[in-house]
């Protein structure tokens, strides 16, 4: 049995009092601050007891069964979307039902659902996961050691006989964590990690943050297996994976979702309405004359229009030939084959015919009080 314990490095202030948390800064372009100001955007609450409000949006999870499935059902029932998890999130544990196993399993699931480390809030203190990660970073040797342990146990080592054991202590009372530098390397490179969590929930959570930070390889997280008080082993990596999978299945997390429809200004709405009126009524209002002739190709009856600028035509447009037809971008347009290179919608038609600006054309169309195109 090898116990690695040397050169402990202190992780300062793993837990911060709620009052010391920085409040959210205004986003780019936001001039109005949310009042009152909160340190987080979203607060996920597990447990029945009231908690200090840390975010404008509070989501309560009713976890009936403290397994990955149970947490997953609670997440689905609470209608938590992965979009919620993209903002600044804190997970609050409240009430008597909080046990080390329940907190750790729930937290591991939410880590997968959020695909990043989340801050934890218990009893008016918050463990800021990113800070723990920063402090732990660089503790472990970045180069693969000559001997990699197949199975390492972290925690109450004495109980596990022949297994290599290391200590990653979190001293909650002193508001700091202690990580052995040599132990850090062993933990970081061990093939499997069995973790006997401290019985204090706050200490256990810092331990988990430290272990996760030590074992992370780039964006990939490698959570340990949790050795429960009853001897049951919970694979936290698998729990985290179920959280990740449920996120993939979440309908709100589609990258193909339509962008929100921009709200049009009153002027834009007026122009759009003018462009959508019945084009034949516009032509009539402009004084255009038409005739019904037989289509030379199909023999079917069709309406042809005299051009609104007959001076452009050599014979003064004695024989009408302009047509009305569908526009590729939608709606119906008018085109004289001699004068125009494309079909014009009602708004552009009036601009071209009368030689006026878009707003004057819209004014004219609205004055005529025409029906919308069907």
Which residues here bind Zn ion, judged by CB under 5 A? Answer: 307, 312, 336, 338-339
Identify which of 126, 120, 103 has the alpha carbon closest to the alpha carbon of residue 200.
103
**Tokens at 356, concatenated:** 């006026």
**All residues at 6 or more sequence positions from 275 whose CB lies less than 8 Å from its CB, including other chains:** 331, 345, 346, 347, 348
Q: Which residue is nearest to Zn ion (CB)?
A: 307
| Strand order through the sheet with 89-93 | 15-17, 125-127, 119-122, 89-93, 42-46, 57-61
Least spacing, CB of residue 362 vs Zn ion, in Å: 23
Angle between helices 68-77 and 100-114 (to 10 degrees): 60
Least spacing, CB of residue 296 vs Zn ion, in Å: 19
Number of continuous H segments (helices) and E segments (strands) in the chain: 11, 19
Phi, psi of 139 (to 5 degrees): -70, -45
**Comparison of 111 and 344: residue with beta carbon closer to Zn ion:** 344
**Comparison of 189 and 334: residue with beta carbon closer to Zn ion:** 334
**Comparison of 198 and 280: residue with beta carbon closer to Zn ion:** 280
Least spacing, CB of residue 313 vs Zn ion, in Å: 6
Identify which of 119, 141, 139, 121 has the alpha carbon closest to the alpha carbon of residue 131.
119
Contact 273, 288 (CB under 8 A): no
CA distance 176 to 16: 10
Least spacing, CB of residue 353 vs Zn ion, in Å: 10
Least spacing, CB of residue 310 vs Zn ion, in Å: 7
Q: How many CA atoms lie within 13 A of 365 on its CB side?
A: 32
Least spacing, CB of residue 294 vs Zn ion, in Å: 22
Least spacing, CB of residue 309 vs Zn ion, in Å: 5
Q: Which residues pair with 325 in a beta bridge?
A: 333
DSSP string over 84-126: HHHS-EEEEE-STT--HHHHHHHHHHHHHHHTS--EEEETTEE
**Comparison of 201 and 336: residue with beta carbon closer to Zn ion:** 336
Query: In the 8-state DSSP scheme, what is residue 258?
Result: P
**Comparison of 4 and 349: residue with beta carbon closer to Zn ion:** 349
**Comparison of 79 and 342: residue with beta carbon closer to Zn ion:** 342
**Comparison of 144 and 338: residue with beta carbon closer to Zn ion:** 338
Identify the residue whose tokens are 């314990």: 5
Least spacing, CB of residue 276 vs Zn ion, in Å: 24
CA distance 70 to 61: 10
**Comparison of 45 and 307: residue with beta carbon closer to Zn ion:** 307
Least spacing, CB of residue 29 vs Zn ion, in Å: 48
**Comparison of 18 and 339: residue with beta carbon closer to Zn ion:** 339
């Amino acid at each position: 049995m090898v116990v690695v314990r040397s050169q402990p490095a202190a992780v300062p202030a793993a837990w911060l009092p709620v009052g010391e948390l920085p409040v959210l800064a205004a986003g780019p372009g936001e001039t109005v601050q949310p009042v009152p100001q909160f340190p987080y955007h979203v607060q996920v609450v597990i447990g029945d007891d009231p908690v200090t409000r840390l975010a404008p949006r509070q989501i309560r999870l009713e976890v009936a069964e403290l397994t990955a499935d149970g947490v997953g059902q609670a997440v689905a029932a609470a209608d938590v979307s992965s979009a919620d998890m993209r903002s600044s999130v804190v997970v609050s544990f409240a009430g008597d039902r909080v046990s080390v196993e329940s907190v750790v399993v729930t937290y591991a699931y939410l880590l997968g659902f959020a695909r990043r480390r989340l801050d934890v809030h218990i009893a008016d203190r918050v463990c800021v996961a990113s800070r723990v990660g920063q402090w732990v970073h660089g503790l472990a040797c970045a180069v693969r050691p000559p001997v990699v342990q197949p199975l390492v146990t972290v925690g109450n080592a004495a109980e596990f006989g022949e297994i290599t054991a290391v200590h990653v202590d979190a001293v909650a009372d002193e508001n700091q964590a202690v990580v052995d530098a040599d132990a850090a390397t062993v933990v970081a490179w061990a093939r499997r990690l069995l973790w006997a969590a401290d019985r204090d929930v706050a200490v256990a959570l810092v331990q988990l943050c430290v272990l996760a930070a030590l074992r992370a390889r780039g964006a990939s997280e490698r959570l340990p297996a949790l050795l429960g008080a009853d001897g049951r082993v919970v694979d936290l990596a698998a729990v985290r994976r179920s959280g990740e999978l449920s996120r993939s299945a979440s309908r709100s997390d589609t990258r193909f979702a339509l962008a929100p429809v921009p709200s049009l200004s009153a002027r834009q709405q007026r122009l759009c309405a003018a462009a959508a009126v019945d084009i034949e009524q516009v032509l009539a209002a402009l004084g255009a004359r038409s005739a019904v002739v037989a289509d030379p190709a199909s023999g079917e009856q069709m309406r042809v229009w005299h051009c609104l600028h007959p001076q452009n035509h050599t014979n003064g447009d004695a024989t009408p030939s302009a047509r009305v037809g569908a526009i590729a971008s939608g709606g119906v347009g008018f085109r004289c084959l001699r004068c125009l290179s494309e079909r014009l919608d009602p708004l552009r038609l009036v601009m071209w015919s009368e030689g006026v600006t878009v707003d004057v054309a819209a004014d004219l169309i609205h004055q005529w009080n025409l029906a919308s195109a069907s």
